[in-house]
Amino acid sequence: MVYRIHSDDPETVARDIAVEQTVETPLACVPERLLKDGTIGRVENITPVIDTENPSETAGFDATISFRCDITGFTVPQFLNLIFGNISLKNNIRIVGFDFPEAFLRRFPGPSYGIDGIRKSLRVMDRPLACTALKPLGLCVRELASMAGAFARGGIDVIKDDHGLGNQPTHPFEERVARCAEAVASGNAATGGRAMYCPMISGRFDEIERQIRSVLRVGLKGVLIAPMLVGFDTVRYISETYNLAIIAHPSLTGTFFSNKRHGMTPAVMLGTLFRLIGADLSVFPNAGGRFCFTQKECSDLAVALTGPLGPIKSSLPCPAGGMSLERIKELWEAYGNDMALLIGGSLMQHSPDLTASTRIFMEAVKGLRGPARRS
């Protein structure tokens, strides 16, 4: 683990992290053998950080601290607890990187499909994927299904529920999922397309499995899920248990990023962690939209999703949050072919004829040819 520390005494803070996150006990009360067997985290090194953009600002120190993997019990909850549980309640500590041993990574599922699997399933090999969303919440099931059908007839690749669509009286989960799946299937049949519909899974702890079974029963291949809303390990469980593509949504994760000196970077949380628990796509608020990530944060996030991570498959970066048809080329230049373009509101705004708007979106995406970076 690499922790960025802002302090005049980074050595003390780093040692404190190593103790707080493990034995959490005055060292005088820790039996001798635990001081020697690696139970306490080990501070490997501490290096000052040079901030090239603001050389006058204190850029902090990067402390690499290693922990024994078996302390996590190889479970997501205890892993989260080990890396940031108690120290989340301190300040000026930010996780900026990981370096996992392969033996640890082998215990986590990662994406079931990965970029290659998603591409094969959708038969889209040489361009970004095009995604959109069913919304707003409050529509009736018939309206949402009609919208889903229109997107499918326009040739879209992925249709996800808006993450606010749960099991509300206006659009009960089972009925919505069944009707939207039907509408997408008949849209696909009409055009020969393979649009994938991914409903939002945000049921109660004891409803999650039933929701997944409803999704499987109507033949869907993917779901949308927000790890912070239902629990990180719920996502790991679904990924490991069912052969479903998982689109991970960043809802409620924002406080991890809002304090630049404390928390985690977007690349760590929405990149590495989401990938580790099984995200095939990770939705994030792209720079220049309605939210506040910088382009550098977004690029680092894309690298965390697509770069090497032991045996774990790669995930598709899905820049979103106020993206428009006009920005497609710019996004492609930033992320390359291996991304999923998510355009929601802007597509609806383009014209009341959703099929026509979707066709324009698809033409723009299919026109992206040339020397784009291959992630």
Question: Distance (Å, rounded) from C-alpha 336 to C-alpha 365?
Answer: 12
The stretch near a second copy (CB under 8 A) out of 4-12, 22-30, 215-223, 310-318 is 22-30
204: exposed, middle or buried (C-beta count within 10 Å: 0-12, 13-18, 19+)?
exposed
Question: Distance (Å, rounded) from C-alpha 132 to C-alpha 134?
Answer: 7
Binders of a second copy in range 237-276 (CB under 8 A): 237, 241, 250-259, 262-264
Angle at 115 between CA 111 and CA 121, to 5 degrees: 95
For the CB of residue 49, give the shortest distance to a second copy in the complex, in Å: 19
Q: Would you say 71 or 364 has its CB closer to a second copy?
A: 71
Residue from 62, 157, 161, 162 touching a second copy (CB under 8 A): that is: 162
Q: Would you say 182 or 240 has its CB closer to a second copy?
A: 240
Question: Distance (Å, rounded) from C-alpha 327 to C-alpha 330?
Answer: 5
For the CB of residue 132, give the shortest distance to a second copy in the complex, in Å: 12
Residue from 137, 325, 356, 360 touching a second copy (CB under 8 A): that is: 137
Residue from 233, 325, 359, 375 touching a second copy (CB under 8 A): that is: 233
For the CB of residue 232, give the shortest distance to a second copy in the complex, in Å: 8
Binders of a second copy in range 36-55 (CB under 8 A): 37, 39
Radius of gyration over every alpha carbon of the chain, rounded to an integer in angstroms: 22
Helices (H) and strands (E) in the chain, counts: 17, 13
For the CB of residue 140, give the shortest distance to a second copy in the complex, in Å: 10
For the CB of residue 201, give the shortest distance to a second copy in the complex, in Å: 9
The set of residues, in sequence order, having a beta carbon less than 8 Å from that of 33 and lying 6+ positions away, is none
Residue from 112, 188, 202, 315 touching a second copy (CB under 8 A): that is: 202
For the CB of residue 274, give the shortest distance to a second copy in the complex, in Å: 14
For the CB of residue 93, give the shortest distance to a second copy in the complex, in Å: 9
The set of residues, in sequence order, having a beta carbon less than 8 Å from that of 306 and lying 6+ positions away, is 115, 314, 315, 316, 317, 338, 375
For the CB of residue 192, give the shortest distance to a second copy in the complex, in Å: 29
198 membership: H or E segment, kind and range? strand 196-198
Mapped onto helix, strand or coil, the DSSP state of residue 208 is helix
Binders of a second copy in range 337-366 (CB under 8 A): 344-346, 348-349
Q: Which two tokens stand for residue 185?
A: 């299937």
SS (H, E, C) 250-289: CCCCCHHHHCCCCEECHHHHHHHHHHHCCCCEEEEECCCC
- Helix ranges (H only) for 22-123 are 32-36, 76-84, 102-105, 114-122
Question: Distance (Å, rounded) from C-alpha 203 to C-alpha 174?
Answer: 11
Q: Would you say 282 or 314 has its CB closer to a second copy?
A: 282
- Asked if 29 is part of the footprint of a second copy (rule: CB under 8 A), the reply reads yes
Residue from 217, 292, 311, 353 touching a second copy (CB under 8 A): that is: 292
For the CB of residue 88, give the shortest distance to a second copy in the complex, in Å: 3
- Asked if 23 is part of the footprint of a second copy (rule: CB under 8 A), the reply reads yes
The stretch near a second copy (CB under 8 A) out of 105-113, 184-192, 227-235, 309-317 is 227-235
- Asked if 206 is part of the footprint of a second copy (rule: CB under 8 A), the reply reads yes
Binders of a second copy in range 54-113 (CB under 8 A): 70-73, 75-78, 80-82, 84-91
For the sheet with 42-48, list strands across it.
Answer: 42-48, 61-66, 2-5, 93-97, 263-264
CB 239 within 8 A of CB 246: yes
- Asked if 138 is part of the footprint of a second copy (rule: CB under 8 A), the reply reads yes
* Site residue total, a second copy (CB under 8 A): 89
- Asked if 4 is part of the footprint of a second copy (rule: CB under 8 A), the reply reads no
